[in-house]
Structure 1
Amino acid sequence: MQADKRPLRFVIIGAGMAGMLAGIRLKERGDTDFTIYEKGDSVGGTWRENSYPGLACDTPAHSYTYSFATNPEWSAFYAPGAEIRAYFEQIAGRYDLKSQIAFNTEISSCRFVDGRWRITTTEGCEDVADVIVAATGVLHHPAMPDIPGLEDFAGPCFHSARWDHSVPLEDKRVGVIGNGSTGVQIVSALSKVAGRLVHFQRSPQWIMPCPDLKYSEADKQVFRDDPAKIEEVRNGPEASARRARFTAAIIDLESPELAEIQSIVERNLRESISDPKLREKLRPDYRAACKRMVFSAHYYDAVQKPNVEVVVGAIERVEPSGIRMKDGSFYELDVIALATGFRVDQFVRPMVVEGFGGKSLDAFWSEHPRAYYAVTVPEFPNFFLLNGPTGPVGNFTLIDIAEAQWAYIDQLVDLLRAGTCDAVAPTMSALDEYEVRRTEAAKRTVFASGCRSWYLDKQGVPQVWPWSYAYFQEVMKRPKLEDYALMQGQ
């Protein structure tokens, strides 16, 4: 590689896992002219936004760490949310990132003018950058359900990502709407404290059993003394087999791996739920892994407690004192928790992003968000996405994904550092070809096998990575420069 010739100014949007990664990697390269803009008051992204009861990661804790900053102190195989947030706080301190983070600062617009990005905050402050790294994440715009009468409820009602910890729940009648991983975690936790707990769900979920493994002090000492033990948890035979099994299951509906997963979740339901009526109520009518897999060691135990009821069906409306179903049944409640997910099609929106000639990213994404290999967008030069549209978000660790994407991005930035070009963006033909291949492959994945999920766009096509995890790692090793426009004097 040529010696660096051009000093670059970077703006990173978001101080969650991916934005922090970008800052750390830039500092390692000696690129210190950057600012991370963060709309919240601290680092951590989704782990700052979410603090609901039972919050935990559904990826093994040792896999949900940066490869260069492992953590022998995790208390459990699946770490609770507060520990994950503390980990990111600790990393921010270790790498002295906070001095370059503008907290409580939201970006309103980014416009590419005269070869540089002009950035404006919601407070009217301005910045200029050669490169933008959009690390805004996917799960940060809460999706409020469109249920008639929701605003008429007389008691506290809040989204899981805006949990109101001032509301007492002991001995209260609590309704939880939604049964993705968040809803399952909340119900598992609140079953221990609520007087009556009602779990409302449109359709049941397959539950993958997982170990409730806590690490003892002796376990932690082993990890401290021998980092290879951490690496074994991260990428050893068991972890590799689990990743390979899930990858094969996703991309091939006839695979023995998907049949194995189906067998596991069916056995879990059969052996965990003793009441035949409840067992059938909890049985999904779609294939395992069609929706994002839900991992839980406690949900099936929770729903069999005498103070817990599962209600499957459509909600007619919310009334001041509770929820009425379309079948006429009514459930009196004191508190409603909305585990209804996020607006996953937003990404950097509602921020205004304009590329060449004022081209609007919002307009470009009007049908659905798209990016070349989930990282770059035609006509938006020097604009890079971490965990962007169509990336492999399905039950893989997003840290590993972001690290691979950064290695790819850094090679494109090298072209700018070396003066090979002033601006770089994929060609439209490269994105079109990628989207045709990706769409056709997505239609053959388990995600398109007949369920309703947040993976699907308005046409019902999964907006996720449809190939193997190994293929993702392969294409991230080196950009195909023939698919990029390298521009001078922009």
Structure 2
Amino acid sequence: MSTQTASSIEIEAFEPHPGWARQGRQPRIAIIGAGMSGIAAVVKLRRAGYTDLTVFEKADRVGGTWRENHYPGLSCDVPSYWYSFTFAKNPDWSHRFAYGPEIQAYMERTARDFGVLDVTHFDTPVTELRYEAPTWRLTTGRGDEHVFDVVISATGVLHHPAFPDIPGLDSFEGEAFHSARWNDDLDLAGKRVGIIGTGSTAAQIVGEIGPEVGRMSVFQRTPQWMAPLPQKAYSKAWKRFLRLFPFVQTLLYHFYYWYMTSRVGGAVLGDEKAHARLAEACRRNLAENVHDPELRARLTPDYKAACKRIVVASDFYPAICADNAELVTDAIERIEPGGVRTKDGRLHELDVLVLATGFDPTRFILPTKVTGENGVDLEKRWDDAPRAHRSMSVPGFPNLWMIEGPTGPVGNLSLITISEYQLGYVIQCLDKMKRDGLEAIAAREEAFDAYNAYLREGLKKTIWVTGGCHSWYIDKTGMPNLYPYAPQQFRKEMQRPDFSEYRLIHEV
């Protein structure tokens, strides 16, 4: 494992002299987070000629979500050859859909090979950002302050665990933890294990630990549509072939991009034929693996496939059908010292309770306190729901860019691909500042409003609205939390900024 302590990197003292572009010096850029987006940011910015970079990472190593999550059965539901950096192809993926530890190793190796570790402060969370035109004053959890010309938030989306509001949760006398805080030292052999949730995380855990535990109780609030995972192991000969002919992996990258965006993405965005294929695959998967009619009925959703995120897992159905497993569909009343009490009065006695209840998808750069122009607090601005112009910039917060920010296409694209598209956009904005001697750039309020109206209009045709379910894809105001158009459209929008959408600030 490659790590580097924060104390081993010096940050040069810097006084906020406005106008890096007019002075002809390098912009001082802070990157918050050393997950996939932070790693990509360092590489892409350096290649574009921006070299004064500092990364702040709250944890002791890179990896982001793949560092945070290490539960049994963890794997990616995006094909490995697509879930890769374009600048760091990996011919040695072991499977079509890589497992978590392998992805984490890939992140660490890429960070090491491309010098990301050399500019990263580990164990250093950013607690506050304050705009002091035209620079940002950044405060860390260590109490030190630094000034930067530009801040790029690469904190990701799914890193704030969501805990269920269930009475008595703290009273449980066994082992209880969120899936993102898995206890690796825990021996589950012969234990009575309860799992709250049936989403992607729960499905992977259930399929992996089912044969090991003594008894497994899976508490389901809403059934999920599940598609089979077409897993495949890659041979040594195939890996050697890719090393000899690297262009083949580039072709595979583009093939999986086309396949996933046209087949899965199309099913979400109104392509009836694509949706019919996906729905049939889910129905067939359920029918072929769950033969008990009563159990199959309880596992069948009452909404259309892809209204919620499709769970891609091949081991869940066999595991839940096993003699040592039980699907509990009665609502949970409370947690007691000995287990989970459901509303039918039954106590499900447990030794271990796993909360596979997902993440809060609305936090993004928060809980960092971010104060923009005129003292506006970002969290208060986001009181109704998080919003950003083109998923990256908020009016009143100049020179602050968010990668994988609000309303991005996180549900229908590889997150690595999104990051690289957005970083290309940000680099063009930096180039504009350099050419024109700008001190700051910020989204215009009217452009922000028009963009969000565009998103609201696009939402109408999606399966998220027409599918008959309630999910985090749509917020309490009726706006999409995800980009509601085709991935190809997002790529087109990222190719060239329209600078009429931004305030181009020459002097402050």
Q: Is the 8 A contact 1:443 1:462 kept in 2?
A: no
Query: Which residue in the other structure is 1:244 paired with?
Result: 262
- The match for 1:445 is 462
Give, in angstroms, the shift of residue 246 of structure 1: 2.1
**In the alignment, structure 1 residue 292 sits paired with structure 2 residue 292:** no
Answer yes or no: is 1:413 the counterpart of 2:430: yes
User: Higher mean Cα deviation, 394-403 or 146-155?
Assistant: 394-403
C-alpha deviation, 1:179, in angstroms: 1.4
Aligned twin of 2:118: 99
2:195 aligned to 165, 176, 185, which one?
Answer: 176
- Structure 1 partner of 2:209: 190
User: In the alignment, is residue 480 of structure 1 matched against residue 503 of structure 2?
Assistant: no
Q: Is the 8 A contact 1:116 1:130 kept in 2?
A: yes
Q: 1:4 to 1:240 in 2, by over 3 A?
A: farther
Deviation at 1:239, TM superposition (A): 4.8
For 1:66-215, list aligned pairs within 5 A: 66-215=85-234
Q: Aligned equivalents of 2:288 and 2:245: distance in 1?
A: 38
User: Where does structure 1 lack aligned partners over 5 or more consecutive residues?
Assistant: none
Query: Any conservation in 1 of the 2:37–2:419 contact (CA below 8 Å)?
Result: yes
Helix, strand or coil: the match of 1:418? helix
With normalisation by structure 1, the TM-score equals 0.97
1:389 is aligned to: 406
Q: What corresponds to 1:62 in structure 2? A: 81
SS at match of 1:36: strand
Amino acid at match of 1:49: E
Q: Measure how far apart 1:396 and its partner are.
A: 2.0
* Kept in 1: contact 2:152–2:403 (CA 8 A): yes
- Partner amino acid, structure 2, of 1:402: S
CA separation of 1:459 and 1:36: change in aligned 2, threshold 3 A: same
Q: Which amino acid aligns with 2:30?
A: V
Match of 1:355 in 2: 372
Q: Quick check: 2:82–2:257 contact (8 Å CA) kept in 1?
A: no
Q: Aligned-pair distance for 1:3?
A: 11
**C-alpha deviation, 1:460, in angstroms:** 4.5
Contact (CA 8 Å) 1:11, 1:37: kept in 2 or not? yes
Could you tell me which residue of structure 2 aligns to residue 339 of structure 1? Answer: 356
1:164-200 deviation digits (Å, cap 9, x = unpaired)? 1122211100001111111100001111211111111
Secondary structure of 1:403 counterpart:
helix
Q: Which residue of 2 aligns with 1:274?
A: 291
Among the aligned pairs, what percent are the same residue? 44
Alpha-carbon displacement from aligned partner over 1:234-282 (angstroms, at most 9, x marks no partner): 212x651332122222121x62211221111111111221111111111
- In the TM superposition, residue 230 of structure 1 has moved relative to its aligned partner by 1.6
The more displaced of 341-350 and 217-226 is: 217-226
Report deviation, 1:419. 4.0
**Structure 2 length-normalised TM:** 0.93
Structure-1 separation of matches of 2:133 and 2:247: 50
Distance in 2 (CA, whole Å) between partners of 1:432 and 1:154 is 50
Separation in structure 2 between the aligned mates of residue 241 and residue 30 of structure 1, nearest angstrom: 34
Say if 1:155 and 1:321, in contact at 8 Å, map to a contact too.
yes
Query: What is the deviation of 1:216?
Result: 1.5
Aligned residue type for 2:114: Y
Q: SS in structure 2 opposite 1:174?
A: strand
Pair 1:402-2:415 in alignment: no
User: 2 CA distance for matches of 1:128 and 1:469?
Assistant: 36
* Structure 1 stretch displaced more, 36-45 or 217-226: 217-226
2:314 aligned partner, one-letter code: A
Q: Secondary structure at the match of 1:61?
A: coil
| Kept after mapping to 1: 8 A contact 2:332/2:341 | yes
Classify the secondary structure of the residue corresponding to 2:295.
helix
Please give the per-residue CA displacement for 1:389-434, whole angstroms capped at 9, x wherever unaligned.
Answer: 0000114210011111111111001122234311001100001011
Equivalent position of 1:374 in the other structure: 391
Matched, 1:261 2:278: yes
- Measured against aligned partners, the alpha-carbon deviations of 1:93-133 in whole angstroms (never above 9, x if no partner) come to 10111110000001111111031100011221011100000
How many residue pairs get matched?
Answer: 487
Residues 1:46 and 1:378: Cα distance change in structure 2 (over 3 Å): same
Q: Distance in 2 between matches of 1:202 and 1:187?
A: 16
Counterpart mapping for 1:46-57 below 5 A: 46-57=65-76
* Structure 1 position 29, deviation (Å): 2.5
| One-letter amino acid of the counterpart of residue 286, structure 1 | Y
Which residue identity is paired with 1:478? R
CA distance, structure 1, for counterparts of residue 222 and residue 338 of structure 2: 24
Counterpart amino acid of residue 276 in structure 2: A
RMSD across aligned positions (CA): 1.6
